[in-house]
Structure 1
Amino acid sequence: MSITYDNIVAAWQEKNIKSIADLDVALGDFRILFAYNSNKIEGSQITIHQTREIFENGKVISYTGDLRALFETENQRVCYEFLKNKIIDRDALTEELILEIQEKLCHGCYDESRWQKGERPGTYKKNYYGVGMSVGVLPEDVPEEVQFICKELSEAGLDNSEKILKAAAWFHCSFERIHAFADGNGRVGRTLLNYILMVNNLPPIIIFDEDKETYYMALEVFDHTDKIEGFVKFLKEQAVKTWTRKNTKGERVIIL
């Protein structure tokens, strides 16, 4: 029998996560794999082994690559530590929290050209970054757009897992369309997606780098049609991939 998204949800909810200690146990390897894939989607060259070293030891030995990639990985660890209490307390997702998350994930990572344009981590973009196809709303429209999607989420009436997943998918797609920041929009958006899921007692999801073309395609469909069905289906598939492994018989088993 194939494992479904509903099976993954049931296994997650059976863990009955009530404390930070519970959360740390549940997300032991997930934190590392999520950070690795979320950064790799954006082009990071840090390996999974180096990501694990940073999360578990706070340092990496004999690294000769781009320093920004190290900062981005350390920032993922810092951001998780920052969010743990909020996940357990089920704090609402607000504009202020989004700004804090972006500052944590992008701390020390803005390049010189952005810095000279007045851009700073933890603040909305001050310039328009359209390249080819237009990317995001105009800077002056960002605060109102972010406030709108936060308000819509807070009023969504999330009383079952399907509604929660659809709301999280809609929020993520809407956030990526707004493109609120000069940098880090993808990493912030994927963190927000999982924050929404976890504060509503659903399992977080890794969007795998190897599936990023499907991910981008699903975002583009939403961008042009406002339809989220394809993105919701993609998230369910990624959730099953996140929380299952093949056993010695080649069968998929849940690892929660």
Structure 2
Amino acid sequence: MEQYEKAVALWRRRKITTDAELAEALNGHSIAFAYHSGKIENEHITYNDTREIFERDGVTSYTGDLRTLFEIRNAKEANELYLDAFNERRPLDEELIKQFQYLLTQNTYDTRRYQLGERPGEYKHHDYVTGREEVGAVPEDVAEEMTELLNELKDIPAEKVLTAAAYFHAKFENIHPFADGNGRTGRLAMNYFLVCHDHPPVIIHEEDRKEYYTALEAWDIGQELAPLSNFLKMQTVKTWEKRIQREEKRNRNRER
């Protein structure tokens, strides 16, 4: 069995159905996810600050930018919604995605966006292109494209969950539905989709951002999904490799 299949099998054996069980299964991964997802776009985010805010709701001896603190605190609140939504079996719909984005970006929109009428929790009102390929749907098409994307995610068979997650993430980032926070929102929404389909969530590690962006660009340029699917599979293994190693060690000890 390949390491990816081991990670999925290990997760599914837990039979997670409640927010408490999900929080226990994550056991530190929520902090790591928030750190890496934030760090991809904000180099000032540190693991220690993230851990302190998640565990104690505050930091000691902080001298950095307040926006960075807001972003970390926002990630904590978004994680709480992620757990609550899982417990309530909420579907991944436009309302939930807007709530994720609102929590992740509250108090962080810059003055220019705010003066243009942009608000956290709302689809963008103006046209913002992003990336080397200058992707992004025009504002008047965002709602329709998001509805279409989410409808495509219904009734996904178990063996296609990771591919569907890659498809969602690639198209979401290509649509670029919000004025800010699209990367963080897309990664959190993708992980919500995964756990709702009994698949381990994935940390996209900040040190692998170059490969991550290259995989997203493959979709933007030629609608190639394999690079992102393969990248997410490798990141799944990287996310859960220590848990896999502990399980294999226990199995070897039982066989002695």
Superposed pair shares fold, TM > 0.5: yes
Q: 2:207, 2:147 → 1: CA distance?
A: 33
Q: Is this contact kept in 2: 1:90–1:200, CA < 8 A?
A: no
Q: 1:62, 1:255 → 2: CA distance?
A: 38
What amino acid does structure 2 have at the position aligned with 1:137?
A: A
Please identify which structure carries the higher helix content: 2
What amino acid does structure 1 have at the position aligned with 2:196?
A: V
Cα RMSD after superposing both structures? 1.7
Q: 2:86, 2:43 → 1: CA distance?
A: 27
Q: Is this contact kept in 1: 2:135–2:220, CA < 8 A?
A: no
Deviation at 1:245, TM superposition (A): 2.8
Q: 1:134, 1:61 → 2: CA distance?
A: 40
Deviation at 1:91, TM superposition (A): 2.0
Shift in CA distance, 231/133, structure 1 to aligned 2, threshold 3 Å: closer
Identity, in percent, stands at: 45
Which residue of the partner structure matches residue 245 of structure 1?
Answer: 242
Q: 1:141, 1:158 → 2: CA distance?
A: 25
Q: Is this contact kept in 2: 1:91–1:199, CA < 8 A?
A: no
Normalised TM-score (structure 1): 0.92
1:1-256 to structure 2, matched below 5 A, reads 3-130=2-129, 133-154=133-154, 157-160=155-158, 162-245=159-242, 253=245
Q: Is this contact kept in 1: 2:127–2:138, CA < 8 A?
A: yes
Cα-to-partner distance string for 1:194-232 (whole Å, 9 max, x where unaligned): 010000110000000000000000000011121211111
Q: 1:3, 1:51 → 2: CA distance?
A: 32
Normalised TM-score (structure 2): 0.92
Q: 1:130, 1:92 → 2: CA distance?
A: 29
Q: 1:133, 1:236 → 2: CA distance?
A: 25
Q: 1:21, 1:153 → 2: CA distance?
A: 26
Q: 1:255, 1:51 → 2: CA distance?
A: 28
Structure 1 residue runs of 5 or longer lacking an equivalent are 247-251
Structure 2 residue runs of 5 or longer lacking an equivalent are 249-256
Cα-to-partner distance string for 1:13-33 (whole Å, 9 max, x where unaligned): 111212222111111210000
Secondary structure at 2:61's aligned position in 1? coil
